[in-house]
A and B are shown apart, each in its own frame.
Chain A
């Protein structure tokens, strides 16, 4: 089945991962800017990373017939450093003109500090000023509930922001409703330990339905799985869910959200062709 992984940190993966993803049906990935696992010392390091995301990575993905898109941001793990964040934010606008950049992301909160909230707010303003889609990271583990509440509260303060142009990622059972009830898209990211398993993601779909939900692997430099979305497809099939429902979750829904950027080249009208290939 053709699928889109809307959250994959491919700079941390080998070309073997691209090959496996392509073999398993992946046709596009979108890569949010994130933390490298260690703190960068200056804004120049971010600029090189943004060039990697927008120049190098699309070419590497194309070798495996996968479309690669990117999101630009100061990530939540380094966003508490206000001085560095201000410098990085100054450098983002020039990357928003790149042909594969879909928006601002992943922005959001990590430990939910006042500095993180200030940087997060400034990046929503940046997205709004440049009419960009927004991809939001929500915190991990015990910080997720509080962080998601505050993230959504800040978003709601932007009265002109269209909720349908925002995806709040890393949702779990206790945060999904507060995301969906305000009109935002929700992402379920499948991790071996710290987020949602393919089994729990299938449970969530059974409990809450498929509307405005996207599924991603969010593979990165830590314990994670570039084959997470195919594992979700297998789990849904294991439970005898319909191919139409599965296709909606792993292809049609991300196409619907991402197509709000004119740069995303998989258009809704091509869905029919894709459905025919199931």
Chain B
């Protein structure tokens, strides 16, 4: 099985550039929106801290490396179960600043 698309690199850019340009602008608009509300807020919300680290992980890497790095950045890295149910649903990022996270 090939580890690439049948499309050439040029065809991939031709096919996917516009939709990913749109996504890039959406992210920029999202960050600007938060800053307009409170420029200091993002640094205080662990979800946005993880988001910023994920943006840094977009720097060049091997095949699949960026996505895998971001998946890990946003994941609970621990191996131990919770002793009791704290809430019903996941929220998208893991708070690495808590004592439990460092244990």
Contact = CB atoms under 8 A, between A and B. Distances in A.
Given A145-B76, A145-B77, A206-B5, A113 B93 contact: no
A174 B75 contact: yes
Interface residues of B, number: 34
A173 B69 CA distance: 10
Interface stretch (B25-33, B35-43, B51-59, B83-91): B83-91
Nearest to A150: B81
Contact of B2 (A141, A203, A206): A206
A150 B79 contact: yes
Give the one of B77, B86, B89 with max A CB within 10 A: B89
A142 B64 contact: no
A202 B39 CA distance: 38
A145 B73 CA distance: 11
Main secondary structure on A side of the interface with B: helix
Contacts of A144: 75, 90
A111 B6 contact: no
A116 B5 CA distance: 40
B67 A173 contact: yes
Contacts of B5: 202, 206, 239-241
A183 interface: no
B79 A146 contact: yes
Contacts of A239: 5-7, 15
A12 interface: no
A112 interface: yes
Interface of A: 77, 80, 110-117, 139-146, 149-150, 172-174, 200, 202-203, 206-210, 238-241
